[in-house]
A and B are shown apart, each in its own frame.
Chain A
Amino acid sequence: DIQMTQSPSSLSASVGDRVTITCQASQDIRKYLNWYQQKPGKAPKLLIYDASNLETGVPSRFSGSGSGTDFTFTISSLQPEDIATYYCQQYDSLLYTFGQGTKLDIK
C-alpha cells in the first residue's frame, strides 16, 4: 500500500499568516492527491483535487501544488474559520490512503 506522510501533525498560526502543510507519498502517485478539511464534529470537505485544482466554491486562499511524491497545501492568509484538521489522500492506487492529518489552530 502507498503510505502518505503529512507534516506537521499540528500547527499554530496567527490570523493572516501563510500556512503550509506538506504530504509525502511512499511512491510516485503522479498528480492523484486530494486535500480535505475536517472541522470538529463534521464530515470532511473536499478542498483540492488532482493536487492543484480548487473545488468549486472553495475560497481562493487555499491552494495545492506538487506531483510525484511531494505535495504542498497552502492557506495564503489564515482566517479564523480555517481552524480544522487537514488531510491529504492519494488515489493513484485503488487502495486509497489518507495522511495522518494536520491539526491547525489559532495562536
Chain B
Amino acid sequence: EVQLLESGGGLVQPGGSLRLSCAASGFTFSNYAMSWVRQAPGKGLEWVSVISGSGVSIYYADTVKGRFTISRDNSKNTLYLQMNSLRAEDTALYYCAKDRDQVIAVAVGTFDYWGQGTLVTVSS
C-alpha cells in the first residue's frame, strides 16, 4: 500500500525558514517523480515544485522560485522541501504527491497518491 507522510510544518515568522519532509513507502520511490502541492486555507490547489525520480529534473512555480528548494534522498525514500524567506502568502497545507507513471528521468504530472498534508503558517 502506497503511503506518503508529510512532516515539518509549523508556525514561522515572516522571513524565516522551514524544511518539510515526506516519507514514502509501498512503492519503488526512486522510479517516480514527486511533487509538492499547497492549498491556502479555504482556497484552491497550487502546484509548487516537482523533482524527477533521479533528482536530475527539477521545476518550480514562479511564486516560490529562488526561495524554495526541492530535493530527495532515494536511500531514505524521503522527499524534502526547504522553504526560505517565507511570506504570509506561503501559509498553506502542503501536500506531497506521487506521479502516476514510472519515468525516472523526467516528470509526468499526474498525481495518483497524495499525503494528508502538513500545515505551514507564516505569521508574526
Q: Interface on A for B, CB 8 Å cutoff?
A: 1, 32, 34, 36, 38, 43-46, 49-50, 55, 85, 87, 89, 91, 94-101
Q: Which of B44, B46, B100, B110 has the most CB of A within 10 A?
A: B110
Q: Which of A38, A44, A100 has the most CB of B within 10 A?
A: A44
Cβ contact within 8 Å between B117 and A43:
yes
Cβ contact within 8 Å between A49 and B100:
yes
Cross-interface CB contact of B109 among A36, A96, A99, cutoff 8 Å = A96
Q: Total contacts A to B, CB within 8 angstroms?
A: 59
Contact A44:B111 (CB < 8 A) given known A97-B47, A98-B45 = yes
Cβ contact within 8 Å between A95 and B45:
no
Cβ contact within 8 Å between A96 and B100:
no
Cross-interface CB contact of A95 among B57, B59, B111, cutoff 8 Å = B59
CB neighbours of A98 from chain B (8 A) = 44-47
Cβ contact within 8 Å between A91 and B45:
no
Q: Would you give 11 A-B contacts (Cβ < 8 Å), ordered by A?
A: A36-B111, A44-B95, A44-B114, A89-B45, A91-B108, A91-B109, A94-B50, A95-B47, A98-B45, A99-B44, A100-B44
